[in-house]
């Protein structure tokens, strides 16, 4: 393997571990720690491309090994990340469900207009902002914002007591995308 490969391999390994840690437990601290590793990974891509051109005469097809490692890293993280995110959510879902039960039971007051809900104690680590409202036909909608990154990107979980998808205009108005996690929960991001 070319010498650049000996630098690219640990960078890619650390990136995989950082991304998997973030997917399992989404927090802004882990996201911040992932950023320098992402910059190093970008540098590894550049180094692997340079390696193809500078190491070709000596290493021939082995000059592509660092680039193959970078590609494999991208494929593995994109394949495994959604599954890890789902498993991470399933791990903390009982805590989210307990909050929803408090809202449905009236211990946490929810009005007909979007209201910010302040979490306290150990629940404060579940989300940095929570918005809840109950429609006139009784559908409880709760949005848990669990993460954000540069420049303006947010992600979180949306709960709908009816289990129905939010109306199309909700997605457009709020500029959200997402996917269903189970019958009442959605993963959302902008």
- pLDDT tens profile 136-174: 888 999 999 887 766 557 888 999 999 888 776 666 566
- Domain extent, residue 178, equals 109-189
**Percentage of the chain modeled with pLDDT above 70:** 94
Nearest-CA neighbor of 21 among 76, 74, 84?
Answer: 84
Is 98 within a domain?
Answer: no
Nearest-CA neighbor of 181 among 171, 173, 190, 189?
Answer: 189
pLDDT at 164: 87
Do residues 66 and 121 both lie within one domain?
no
Nearest-CA neighbor of 138 among 164, 117, 169, 177?
Answer: 164
Average predicted confidence (pLDDT) for the chain: 88
Do residues 74 and 114 both lie within one domain?
no
Do residues 68 and 138 both lie within one domain?
no
pTM: 0.77
């Amino acid at each position: 393997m070319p010498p650049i490969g000996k630098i690219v391999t640990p960078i890619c390994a650390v990136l995989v571990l950082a991304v998997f840690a973030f997917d399992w437990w989404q927090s802004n601290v882990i996201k911040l720690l992932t950023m320098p590793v992402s910059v190093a990974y970008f540098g590894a891509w550049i180094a692997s491309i340079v390696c193809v051109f500078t190491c070709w005469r000596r290493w021939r097809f082995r000059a592509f090994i660092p680039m193959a490692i970078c590609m494999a890293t991208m494929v593995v993280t994109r394949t495994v990340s959604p599954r890890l995110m789902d498993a991470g959510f399933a791990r903390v879902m009982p805590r989210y469900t307990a909050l929803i039960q408090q809202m449905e039971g009236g211990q946490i007051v929810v009005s007909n207009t979007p209201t910010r809900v302040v979490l306290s104690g150990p629940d404060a680590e579940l989300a940095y902002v929570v918005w809840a409202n109950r429609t006139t036909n009784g559908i409880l909608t709760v949005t848990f914002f669990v993460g954000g990154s540069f420049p303006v990107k947010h992600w979180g979980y949306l709960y709908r007591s009816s289990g129905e998808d939010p109306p199309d205009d909700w997605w457009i108005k709020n500029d959200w995308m997402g996917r269903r996690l189970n019958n009442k929960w959605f993963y959302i991001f902008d």
